[in-house]
Copies of this chain bind each other. A is one copy, B any other.
Amino acid sequence: MNNLASIESGLAELDMRAGATLTDRLFDALQRAIVEGEIPQGGKISEPELARRHGVSRSAVREAIARLEARKLVERKPNLGARVVVLSAEQLIEIFQLREALEGMAARLAAQAMSEAEIDALDALLAQHGRQIEQEQGQAYFQKQGDLDFHFRIVQGSQNRQLIGLLCDDLYHLLRMYRVQFGMRSKRCRQAFAEHQYLLSAIRARDPEMAELLMRQHVRASRRNLEQALG
């Protein structure tokens, strides 16, 4: 048993999944705090403060911060410490250009590689989204969450581990952070829903070319929407 870390109160909030090191749990907690906006954009990530708050040493905090940096959630400068990234409008646009390329490829591969069962599940997910939109109940949050879910599954369906890692481990966290911080509610959610359905049709038809085309147009439309909103 470790000296005293495990009975410290600060760690109570952290999940205790087996085999996870202290740094792992710290990383999860910090990533959540950043993505959920508890630490604002540009906010300082202070090693001593976090160490105190969580009742651990600076070493563990430093390592967790290093992982956050690897995921582009914080930026670190020598002797100056780490701060939560600030996404400029330009960078957001650039990220959407990345998404267009990557998710386009993911859709192409998914059209070839997804199982019928996965496609059926995706169909069910879309049906649920449709109901939510009709009732206007889930609104922005659930719609955006649902949007990410949909894209998430397509990427998983590509069965390309590089793609999956890049998008699901890194980019999607950044996107979620951005969405929480900006509280952005898209006006084109009905349109987006329709585009999701077209895309699913192409995947069901096992048409990679069309799937990629539709996904790219879908992401591009989101980007244009964003450009207009941001200016």
Task: Point out residues on A near B: beta carbons under 8 Å.
Answer: 19-21, 24, 59, 62-63, 66-67, 69-70, 78-79, 91, 94-95, 97-98, 100-102, 104-105, 109, 160-163, 166
Query: Whole-angstrom distance between the alpha carbons of A101 and B24 in the complex?
Result: 32
Docked complex Cα distance between A70 and B165 (Å): 12
If A24-B78, A98-B160 are given as contacts, then 20 extra A-B residue pairs at C-beta distance below 8 Å, sorted by A number, are A59-B59, A63-B63, A66-B66, A66-B67, A66-B70, A67-B70, A70-B70, A91-B161, A91-B162, A94-B163, A95-B162, A97-B109, A97-B160, A97-B162, A98-B102, A98-B162, A98-B163, A100-B105, A101-B101, A166-B166
Q: How far is the CA of A101 from the CA of B105 in the complex (A)?
A: 6
Find out whether the CB atom of B105 lies under 8 angstroms from the CB atom of A97.
yes
With A101-B105, A102-B101, A161-B91 given, is the CB distance from A19 to B78 under 8 Å?
yes
Query: Within the assembled complex, what's the spacing in Å between the Cα atoms of A217 and B186?
Result: 36
Q: What residue in chain B is nearest A96 (Cβ atoms)?
A: B162
Measured CA separation A105–B97 after assembly (Å): 8
Q: Which of A59, A78, A109, A160 has the most CB of B within 10 A?
A: A160
Q: Could you list 16 A-B pairs, sorted by A, with CB under 8 Å? A: A19-B78, A21-B78, A62-B63, A66-B67, A69-B70, A91-B161, A94-B161, A94-B162, A94-B163, A97-B109, A98-B102, A98-B160, A101-B101, A101-B104, A102-B102, A166-B166
Contact partner of A63 among B66, B94, B100, B109, CB < 8 A?
Answer: B66
In the complex, the chain B residue whose C-beta lies closest to that of A59 is B59
- Inter-chain contacts of A21 with B (CB < 8 A): 78-79
